[in-house]
Amino acid sequence: MKPRFSFSLKILLPYLLIASIFSLVLSRVIFKGDGILSLLSLSGIVISILAGMLHYLWLRRPLNRVRTLTDHLTSGVLPVVKASKSKGEIGALERNLAKLVENLRSLTLFSRSMASGDLTANYEKLGSDDEIGEALLALKGSLIASRKEDETRRRDEENRSWAAYGLAKFSKLFRDAEDDLHELSRELMRELVAYTEADVGALFIATEAETGRPVLQMTGSYAFDRELISDQSFEFGEGLVGRAALEKDLLYITELPPGFMKIRSGLGENVPSSLLLVPVILDSNVLGVIELASLGDIPAFQAGFIQQLADALASTIAKVKANLKNRELFEQSRKQAEELASLELVFRQKLEKLQKEIDRLKNTP
């Protein structure tokens, strides 16, 4: 640290010079070199020197405070500054320096809070020309944006991992599916409702009605507390299920019709907040519709996952239907073969009987 101000002849030199000139002029011009008056002039010089010393001592304390404060600031230290009661320019300088220290302390606290990861702290700029404050606020905004981007990337990565694991999980279920669409539907909806944390779910598979027109028949559900719904079916375009099949597009509804559905829980009955319907499509043909209802929202990444799942389900439904059709054709072929064998046996028996009758007639005299 640099040395403090000390009493110096350099400080008193102006006072001595002024006092000497004044005394000489006073002695020569006015008092004509009188000895007593010269003594008085000498006394004036001494008084001037003493006045200079007192003035210097009066300036020394605030100047020392200012010097100490600036020494701290130049070394990067923020000292504790008491409010100055000095008047004049020195007092104003001290108060400005004290305000500067407080501003620097605010900037330091703000910077430390950002360095610790706390981006909730705020800083009020000193004015429109506060370049340091503007830079720190811009840094805070950049850190907040970066944190949001990191959080978005992390959440997207978690969602992709969740979807990939789910597709692998349900792919195994589809591979193990046998020739029973109802059992497949029930198992699928039980697992899907649990995996997505929805509340209820149902699968409708397209079948041919007695009229020859295609209908969407519920083949499996989970947590539906309505007995009549087990036999419920929809034509294409009928209801929300039929609408999803007709439009061949995902439907996400957050304002359900009154009385559409109620979910029972230990807390009573509640109307779901959201409904998701995803058509199951293969080669532009609608094979079914997946329906999920939830008391909360169904996130977009889950809706995308269910669309991917619907594509895999479409191939499985087509495979199971093909297996069932092949089995049906095989049974028909077997029955036809058995009927043909039975007819052949009857024909052979009749032929043998006819041959015996012909032989008998030939042997009759």
Task: Find residue 215's DSSP bridge partners.
Answer: 207, 235
- In whole angstroms, what is the distance from residue 249 CA to residue 128 CA? 54
- Give the long-range contacts of residues 175-181, CB within 8 A, separation 24 or more: 177/316, 177/319, 177/320, 178/320, 179/320, 179/323, 179/324, 179/327, 180/320, 181/205, 181/219, 181/317, 181/320, 181/321, 181/324
- Cβ atoms of residues 66 and 90 within 8 Å: yes
Is residue 154 situated within a structural domain? no
Residues 183 and 300 grouped into a single domain: yes
Q: Are residues 23 and 168 in the same domain?
A: no
310 and 167 part of one domain: yes
Both 90 and 29 in one domain: the answer is yes
Same domain, 175 and 95: no
Q: Which domain holds residue 175?
A: 159-315
pLDDT at 6: 43
What is the distance between the alpha carbons of residues 209 and 172, in angstroms, rounded to a whole number? Answer: 31
pLDDT of residue 168: 92
359 falls within a domain: no
pLDDT of residue 230: 47
The predicted structure's pLDDT at residue 298: 93
Contacting residues for 82 by C-beta, under 8 A, at least 6 apart: 98
- The pLDDT, as a whole number, for residue 60 is 58
Query: Residue 252 is part of a domain; what is its CATH number?
Result: 3.30.450.40
Q: Which residues contact 45 (CB under 8 A, 6 or more apart)?
A: 16, 19, 20, 23
Contact 95, 33 (CB under 8 A): no
**Into how many domains does the chain fold?**
2
Q: Please report whether residue 337 resides in a domain.
A: no
299 and 196 fall within a common domain: yes
The conformational region for residue 223 under phi > 0 = left, psi -120 to 50 = alpha, else beta, is left
The closest alpha carbon to 183, from 203, 209, 163, belongs to 203
Residue at 226 is within a domain:
yes
Please tell me whether residues 167 and 308 are part of one structural domain: yes
Backbone angles phi, psi at 275, to 5 degrees: -135, 130
CB proximity list for 193: less than 8 A, separation 6 or greater: 199, 200, 201, 222, 223, 292
Cα–Cα dist 118/259, whole Å: 48
Q: Do 67 and 169 reside in the same domain of the chain?
A: no
Query: Does the residue 341 lie in any domain?
Result: no
Cα–Cα distance for residue pair 72/61, rounded to 1 Å = 17
Q: Give the residues of the chain that fall short of pLDDT 50.
A: 1-9, 31, 33, 37, 226-228, 230, 266-267
**Is residue 126 a part of any domain in this protein?**
no
Predicted confidence at residue 163, as pLDDT, reads 94
Do 106 and 170 share a domain, yes or no? Answer: no
94: amino acid identity, one letter: E
